[in-house]
């Protein structure tokens, strides 16, 4: 263990702890943009700088190991001034479309500009502009909002392993791009949307969820994905009794299997919930077609038929296909219905298919 | 799975994938495997008839002929025994019937197996050595291994391999089926199977029946029921008269769809409870509108036996009802009143009858869920099975000879057709075909064909082609790709308008599991002139 002093508070941390973590353990609120605890460190945005006594320059705390005897200030005048300049530099490049931005209210750039009172940028001027057309139906890429933190690049590599995107060009013209600045669909991108998950601003967003509700308006309901058997945890974003998007929770204690990572189906395949094709009323076959019926009529009809067939041919003339898609509770009732009520073990589901 | 998913990312030092296209069908598990290989240097062995994405980063890739799994696995085990790479202590202390097994494996030398499987003998040796020499090796498989007339033999062979090398009961090891549906594990656990009550308690055992008879207050049948595939056949013969379908779509998912259609038309009564008017629901006599996962409370059990909560986000759509309420209403009208105030109340009943779930409560599931078996409320759950001993005591080796698939290519049908899933769709497409972005990205089916095979037939990339088997034919776009060998073609089964299961075989099933042989059908590809 080593000892250091952070904002006048002495703390003890394990050797090898990064200064950022030590500061957070000491209760300091350090702003970060490029830092992500699950990704390879970049140390590029410099938002996390702190003042270490005796050091000639401010230290990027996410990439600096804590050292024994360090005396650290996390919000000194120099630190604040430095962060303001960084925000001004980022603001000079960022396209402010906050009123219509999908990230409004959950944007780190917005939060930090508010926190440090950065209202305008001294560096404003004609900057580069990037087109945003990418014909894929999943991911909106608006690089005029990109702050080049490279979290998307590192998530694509470190979480998904797709390695579909990287930084293209340098300086003012730097942008995140698929190979040869081509389409995502022509790259190794698998449209998992982990890039959207880690983007701290509105440069990356879901086309499927666009325009249906801002983060602050949505209630998030943690649940288990309805597709394959991996059992990923996801958050259904709900606005006005409608599912308007899917996000994910990166805390292992709440998302134990996937830690926030999803696939294309989990992240973008939820809108069937509100398909106009959804069945909303019982139906009974009549004259070769199906016609709407009341619940009582349909249930009585079904129960009558089941009884009639059971009496005529015996319980083993009936069978049920239960479902690998419904819950445990429903499967339990389905087999109970067949076994206890109808009197047959003819119950199965599509485990074989 | 005998082991937990997270172990594939951290603990396994070698991973053997057979019959699983993990990055497409279980993408998040695929990410973890790739990460372990890239960042920790875990060794990767891939056996698959298609050169799937993970094959490209494998230490050994074995592109074997579909249906020759047993030969390939016996070949690997032959090497392990002959080169003394087996875990002698594990075999002696934890297993039985080794001798008979070893005797069968003796003739499966790599040189003997190579012409059967189409895999170079040296690759079989290399794969065997990597797997056996690893400190902790995990086997993962999916339907590529099981959907064969020898599916049960294929799975048992994987178990043999793990037993032989002691790769069970420790982190990063195990025999790990990656299950394809959100709650297929739970549906099995809950006894939605024709031979068992919940937690695999056999219906043929009197004590089990007595337990459930007491709980449910009725006399129960001890006669094994019909599997899904058998039920369709019985309906076809007119012996099954009524079918109740809850969230299933046999008109797309089952083998030989003409046969399924005839069978359903033969029924006196077909009831369907679903969220959409599926191809099956369109033929129903009565249709009940249920709800999606977003509209319900409950639990799903994933492939690693982790029971997790499903939480209601929105209210029922239109006049649709909760699926459990529909079942209760029906039961009540059939003279057996059923009424539960919530799914949690049903779960409480499940616990009392299901030893492996007895210690699980909704409250305990908050957060990380629990792996069954979890017999008591203070039990932490069981991420790893078979630690000290197997359920039956000793691990049983099975002596298994290789058998060919039921339908082999011939002059008339010279190709092997395999079916499977795409990353962008799910099962019969009921949901994903109605998810706008997914369907926009992949709106139609394709047949994957090796360019050399296509060239012989004069078929170019993107051209509509006809696939013909003894059951029927479909027309779909040809996609020329060298991920399949010249004698293999592959298609997806998600698309009802070009339904792969028109082509598949319903007449031959695995004798134990009743699983259809979706991975091997003799087929012919035709140019549409």
Instruction: Report the chain B residue with the minimal C-alpha distance to residue A319.
Output: B243
Q: Mean pLDDT over all residues of chain B?
A: 98
Position A162 confidence tier, pLDDT thresholds 50, 70, 90: very high
DSSP string across A295-327:
HHHHHHHHHHHHHHHHHHH-GGGEEEE--SSS-
User: Are B242 and A305 an interchain contact pair (Cβ–Cβ within 8 Å)?
Assistant: yes
Task: Write down the residue that tokens 């809108």 correspond to.
Answer: A271
Q: Which of A284, A318, A325 sits opposite B183 (nearest CB)?
A: A325
- Please check the confidence at residue B528 and state whether its pLDDT lies above 80: yes
User: Are B431 and A272 an interchain contact pair (Cβ–Cβ within 8 Å)?
Assistant: yes
Q: Is B212 on the interface with A (CB under 8 A)?
A: yes
Dist. CA A229–CA A213, nearest whole Å: 30
pLDDT of residue A117: 98
Task: Write down the residue that tokens 């699950």 correspond to.
Answer: A38
Q: Mean pLDDT over all residues of chain A?
A: 96
User: Are B186 and A327 an interchain contact pair (Cβ–Cβ within 8 Å)?
Assistant: yes
pLDDT of residue B433: 98
DSSP B202: B
Q: What's the average model confidence in pLDDT over B238-257?
A: 97
Note the pLDDT tens digit of each residue in A73-92: 999 999 999 999 999 999 99
The separation between the first and the last C-alpha atoms of chain B, rounded to the nearest angstrom, is: 48
User: Are A229 and B434 an interchain contact pair (Cβ–Cβ within 8 Å)?
Assistant: no
Spell out which residues of chain B touch residue A265, defining contact as CB-CB under 8 Å: 423-426, 432, 435, 438
- Please check the confidence at residue A127 and state whether its pLDDT lies above 80: no
The structure tokens listed for A113 are 């500009």
CA distance A101 to chain B (A): 21
User: Are A332 and B289 an interchain contact pair (Cβ–Cβ within 8 Å)?
Assistant: no
- In the beta sheet, which residues pair with residue B245? A321, B272
Architecture (CATH level 2) of domain B415-527: Beta Barrel (2.40)
Which stretch of DSSP H or E encloses residue A113? Answer: helix A108-115
Q: Is B49 on the interface with A (CB under 8 A)?
A: no
Q: Where are the domains of chain B?
A: 7-178, 184-371, 415-527
Dist. CA A245–CA A263, nearest whole Å: 14
Instruction: Report the chain A residue with the minimal C-alpha distance to residue B250.
Output: A350
Q: Which of B225, B300, B515 sits opposite A344 (nearest CB)?
A: B225
Q: Is B481 on the interface with A (CB under 8 A)?
A: no
pLDDT of residue A124: 87
Position A133 confidence tier, pLDDT thresholds 50, 70, 90: confident
pLDDT of residue B2: 98
- Please check the confidence at residue B481 and state whether its pLDDT lies above 80: yes
User: Are A309 and B269 an interchain contact pair (Cβ–Cβ within 8 Å)?
Assistant: yes
Nearest of A280, A289, A322 to residue B276 by alpha carbon? A280
Position A129 confidence tier, pLDDT thresholds 50, 70, 90: confident
Q: Which of A227, A279, A322 sits opposite B187 (nearest CB)?
A: A322
* Residue A350, burial from CB neighbour count under 10 angstroms (0-12, 13-18, 19+): buried
Domain B184-371 has CATH 3.40.630.30: no
Question: Which strands form A59-60's sheet, in the order they lie side by side?
Answer: A9-13, A2-6, A71-73, A49-52, A59-60
pLDDT of residue A352: 87
The separation between the first and the last C-alpha atoms of chain A, rounded to the nearest angstrom, is: 55
The torsion angle over the Cα atoms of residues A94, A95, A97 and A102, rounded to 10 degrees, is -60
User: Are A241 and B25 an interchain contact pair (Cβ–Cβ within 8 Å)?
Assistant: no
Instruction: Report the chain A residue with the minimal C-alpha distance to residue B328.
Output: A333
Instruction: Report the chain B residue with the minimal C-alpha distance to residue A305.
Output: B269
Q: Which of residues 266-285 of B touch A (CB under 8 A)?
A: 268-269, 271, 274-277, 281-282, 284-285
CA distance A162 to chain B (A): 9
Note the pLDDT tens digit of each residue in B250-303: 999 999 999 999 999 999 999 999 999 999 999 999 999 999 999 999 999 999
- Please check the confidence at residue A321 and state whether its pLDDT lies above 90: yes
Size of interface A-B (CB pairs under 8 A): 464
CA distance B372 to chain A (A): 13
pLDDT of residue B198: 98
Q: What are phi and psi of B496, to 5 degrees?
A: -65, -25
* Residue A1, burial from CB neighbour count under 10 angstroms (0-12, 13-18, 19+): exposed
Nearest of A63, A69, A68, A66 to residue A47 by alpha carbon? A63
Q: Where are the domains of chain A?
A: 2-75, 90-123+134-206, 215-274, 283-352
Cβ atoms of residues B491 and B467 within 8 Å: yes
CA distance B422 to chain A (A): 11
Architecture (CATH level 2) of domain A215-274: Single Sheet (2.20)
Q: What's the average model confidence in pLDDT over B71-100?
A: 98
Q: What's the average model confidence in pLDDT over B24-40?
A: 98
Dist. CA B518–CA B146, nearest whole Å: 9
Dist. CA A248–CA A255, nearest whole Å: 8
Residue spans of alpha helices (H) in A116-174: 151-155
pLDDT of residue A342: 98
ipTM field: 0.97
Note the pLDDT tens digit of each residue in B332-348: 999 999 999 999 999 99
Nearest of A51, A49, A70 to residue A60 by alpha carbon? A49
Q: What's the average model confidence in pLDDT over A324-343?
A: 98
Which stretch of DSSP H or E encloses residue A79? Answer: helix A77-93
Nearest of A16, A17, A34 to residue A25 by alpha carbon? A17
Q: Which of residues 296-335 of B touch A (CB under 8 A)?
A: 296, 298-304, 306-315, 317-321, 323-324, 326-331, 333-335
pLDDT of residue B231: 97
The number of angstroms, rounded, from the C-alpha of B467 to the middle of its chain's C-alpha atoms is: 25
Note the pLDDT tens digit of each residue in B403-448: 999 999 999 999 999 999 999 999 999 999 999 999 999 999 999 9
Dist. CA B262–CA B254, nearest whole Å: 13
User: Are A226 and B431 an interchain contact pair (Cβ–Cβ within 8 Å)?
Assistant: yes
Q: Is B205 on the interface with A (CB under 8 A)?
A: no
Domain A90-123+134-206 has CATH 3.30.70.20: yes
Q: What are phi and psi of A115, to 5 degrees?
A: -60, -40
Position B55 confidence tier, pLDDT thresholds 50, 70, 90: very high
pLDDT of residue B64: 98
Note the pLDDT tens digit of each residue in B294-303: 999 999 999 9
User: Are B191 and A332 an interchain contact pair (Cβ–Cβ within 8 Å)?
Assistant: yes
Q: What are phi and psi of B347, to 5 degrees?
A: -60, -40
Residues, chain A? 353
Task: Write down the residue that tokens 């409250």 correspond to.
Answer: B363
Please state whether beta strands A49-52 and A166-168 pair in parallel, antiparallel, or not at all (unpaired). Answer: unpaired
Instruction: Report the chain A residue with the minimal C-alpha distance to residue B30.
Output: A160
Nearest of B116, B20, B29 to residue B74 by alpha carbon? B116
B60: Cβ–Cβ under 8 A, 6 or more apart, which residues? B45, B46, B123, B126, B127, B130
User: Are B437 and A341 an interchain contact pair (Cβ–Cβ within 8 Å)?
Assistant: no
A117: Cβ–Cβ under 8 A, 6 or more apart, which residues? A84
Q: Which of residues 111-130 of B touch A (CB under 8 A)?
A: none
Instruction: Report the chain A residue with the minimal C-alpha distance to residue B422.
Output: A265
Position B457 confidence tier, pLDDT thresholds 50, 70, 90: very high
Note the pLDDT tens digit of each residue in B120-151: 999 999 999 999 999 999 999 999 999 999 99
Name the CATH topology of B7-178: Dimethylsulfoxide Reductase; domain 2 (3.40.228)
Top-tier CATH class for A2-75: alpha beta
Note the pLDDT tens digit of each residue in A11-55: 999 999 999 999 999 999 999 999 999 999 999 999 999 999 999
Same fold, A2-75 and A215-274: no
Q: Which of B299, B427, B436 sits opposite A327 (nearest CB)?
A: B299
Spell out which residues of chain A touch residue B434, defining contact as CB-CB under 8 Å: 271-272, 275, 277
Q: Is B338 on the interface with A (CB under 8 A)?
A: yes
Q: Which of B248, B292, B308 sits opposite A273 (nearest CB)?
A: B292
Mutation site, B187, B210, B348, B354, interface A, largest A CB count within 10 A: B187
Determine the 3-state secondary structure of A328 from DSSP. helix
User: Are B244 and A321 an interchain contact pair (Cβ–Cβ within 8 Å)?
Assistant: yes
* Residue B284, burial from CB neighbour count under 10 angstroms (0-12, 13-18, 19+): buried
The torsion angle over the Cα atoms of residues B407, B184, B190 and A343, rounded to 10 degrees, is -50
Q: What angle do CA B517, B411, B18 make, to 5 degrees?
A: 30
Instruction: Centre a 10 Å sphere on the Cβ of residue A149 and count the other Cβ atoms it contains.
Output: 26
Residue spans of alpha helices (H) in B118-205: 121-133, 143-146, 151-165, 184-189
Note the pLDDT tens digit of each residue in A189-222: 999 999 999 999 999 999 999 999 999 999 999 9
Dist. CA B439–CA A272, nearest whole Å: 11
Nearest of B131, B180, B119 to residue B14 by alpha carbon? B131
Looking at the whole model, is its pTM more than 0.95? yes
Q: Percent of chain B at pLDDT above 70?
A: 100
Q: Which of residues 53-92 of B touch A (CB under 8 A)?
A: none
pLDDT of residue B39: 96
Instruction: Report the chain A residue with the minimal C-alpha distance to residue B8.
Output: A257
Instruction: Centre a 10 Å sphere on the Cβ of residue A127 and count the other Cβ atoms it contains.
Output: 13
Spell out which residues of chain B touch residue A273, defining contact as CB-CB under 8 Å: 292, 294-295, 314
User: Are A324 and B181 an interchain contact pair (Cβ–Cβ within 8 Å)?
Assistant: yes
pLDDT of residue B353: 98
Cβ atoms of residues B76 and B108 within 8 Å: no
């Amino acid at each position: 263990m080593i000892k250091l002093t952070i904002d006048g508070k002495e703390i003890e941390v394990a050797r090898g702890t990064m200064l950022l973590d030590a500061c957070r353990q000491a209760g300091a609120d350090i702003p970060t943009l490029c830092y992500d605890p699950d990704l390879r460190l970049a140390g590029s945005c410099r938002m996390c700088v702190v003042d270490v006594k005796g050091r000639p320059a401010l230290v990027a705390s996410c990439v600096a190991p804590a050292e024994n005897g360090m005396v650290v200030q996390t919000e000194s005048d120099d630190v604040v001034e430095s962060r303001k300049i960084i925000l001004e530099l980022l603001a000079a490049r960022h396209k402010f479309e906050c009123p219509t931005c999908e990230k409004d209210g959950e944007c780190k750039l917005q939060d930090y500009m508010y926190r440090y009172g950065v209202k305008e940028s001294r560096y404003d001027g004609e900057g580069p502009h990037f087109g945003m057309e990418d014909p894929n139906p999943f991911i909106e890429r608006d690089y005029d909002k990109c702050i080049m933190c490279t979290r998307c690049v590192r998530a694509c590599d470190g979480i998904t392993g797709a390695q579909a995107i990287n930084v293209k060009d340098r300086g003012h013209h730097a942008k995140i791009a698929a190979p040869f600045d081509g389409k995502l669909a022509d790259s190794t991108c698998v449209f998992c949307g982990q890039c959207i998950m880690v983007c701290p601003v509105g440069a990356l967003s879901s086309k499927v969820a666009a325009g249906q509700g801002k983060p602050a308006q949505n209630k998030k309901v943690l649940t288990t994905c309805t597709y394959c058997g991996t059992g990923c945890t996801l958050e259904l974003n709900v606005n006005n009794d409608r599912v308007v998007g899917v996000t994910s929770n990166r805390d292992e204690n709440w998302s134990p299997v996937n830690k926030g990572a999803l696939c294309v189906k989990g992240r973008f395949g939820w809108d069937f919930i509100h398909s106009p094709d959804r069945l909303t009323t019982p139906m009974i076959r009549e004259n070769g077609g199906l016609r709407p019926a009341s619940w009582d009529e349909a249930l009585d009809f079904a129960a009558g038929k089941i009884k009639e067939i059971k009496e005529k041919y015996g319980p083993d003339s009936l069978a049920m296909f239960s479902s690998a898609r419904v819950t445990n509770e429903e499967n339990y009732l389905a087999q109970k219905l067949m076994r206890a009520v109808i009197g047959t073990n003819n119950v199965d589901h599509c485990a074989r298919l | 799975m005998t082991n937990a998913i997270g172990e594939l990312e951290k603990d396994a030092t070698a991973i053997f994938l057979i019959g699983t296209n993990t990055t497409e069908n279980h993408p998040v598990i695929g990410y973890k495997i790739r990460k372990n290989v890239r960042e920790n240097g875990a060794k990767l062995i891939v056996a698959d008839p298609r050169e799937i994405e993970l094959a490209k980063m494998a230490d050994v890739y074995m592109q074997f002929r579909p249906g020759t799994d047993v030969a390939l696995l016996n070949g690997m085990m032959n090497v392990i025994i002959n080169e003394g790479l087996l875990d002698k202590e594990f075999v002696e202390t934890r297993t039985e019937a080794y001798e008979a097994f070893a005797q069968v494996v003796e003739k499966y030398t790599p040189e003997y197996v190579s012409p059967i499987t189409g895999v170079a003998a040296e690759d079989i040796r290399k794969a065997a050595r990597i797997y056996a020499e690893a400190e902790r090796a995990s086997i993962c498989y999916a339907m590529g291994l099981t959907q064969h007339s020898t599916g049960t033999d294929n799975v048992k062979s994987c178990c043999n391999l793990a037993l032989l090398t002691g790769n069970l009961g420790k982190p990063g090891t195990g025999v790990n089926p990656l299950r394809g549906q959100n709650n297929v594990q739970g549906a099995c656990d809950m006894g939605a199977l024709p031979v068992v009550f919940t937690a695999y308690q056999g219906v043929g055992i009197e004590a089990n029946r007595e337990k459930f008879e007491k709980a449910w207050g009725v006399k129960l049948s001890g006669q094994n029921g019909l599997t899904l595939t058998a039920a369709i056949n019985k309906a076809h013969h007119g012996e099954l008269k009524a079918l109740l379908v809850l969230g299933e779509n046999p008109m797309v998912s089952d083998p030989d769809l003409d046969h399924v259609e005839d069978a359903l038309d033969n029924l006196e009564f077909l009831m369907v409870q679903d969220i959409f008017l599926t191809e099956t629901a369109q033929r129903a006599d009565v249709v009940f509108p249920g709800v999606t996962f977003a509209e319900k409370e409950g639990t799903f059990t994933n492939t690693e036996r982790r029971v997790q909560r499903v939480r209601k986000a929105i209210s029922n759509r239109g006049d649709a009802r909760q699926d459990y309420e529909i079942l209760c209403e029906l039961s009540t009208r059939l003279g057996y009143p059923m009424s539960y105030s919530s799914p949690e109340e049903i779960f409480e009943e499940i616990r009392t009858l299901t030893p492996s779930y007895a210690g699980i409560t909704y409250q305990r599931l908050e957060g990380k869920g629990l792996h069954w078996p979890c017999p008591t409320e203070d039990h932490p759950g069981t991420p790893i099975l078979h630690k000290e001993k197997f359920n039956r005591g000793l691990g049983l080796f099975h002596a298994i000879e290789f058998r060919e698939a039921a339908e082999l290519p011939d002059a008339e049908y010279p190709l092997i057709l395999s079916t499977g899933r795409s990353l962008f769709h799910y099962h019969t497409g009921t949901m994903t075909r109605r998810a706008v972005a997914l369907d926009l990205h992949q709106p139609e089916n394709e047949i994957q064909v090796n360019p050399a095979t296509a060239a012989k037939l004069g078929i170019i990339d993107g051209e509509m082609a006809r696939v013909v088997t003894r059951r029927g034919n479909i027309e779909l776009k040809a996609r020329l790709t060298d991920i399949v060998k010249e004698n293999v073609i592959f298609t997806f089964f998600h698309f009802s308008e070009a339904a792969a299961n028109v082509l598949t075989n319903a007449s031959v099933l695995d004798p134990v599991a009743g699983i259809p042989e979706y991975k091997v059908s003799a087929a012919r590809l035709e140019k549409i002139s």
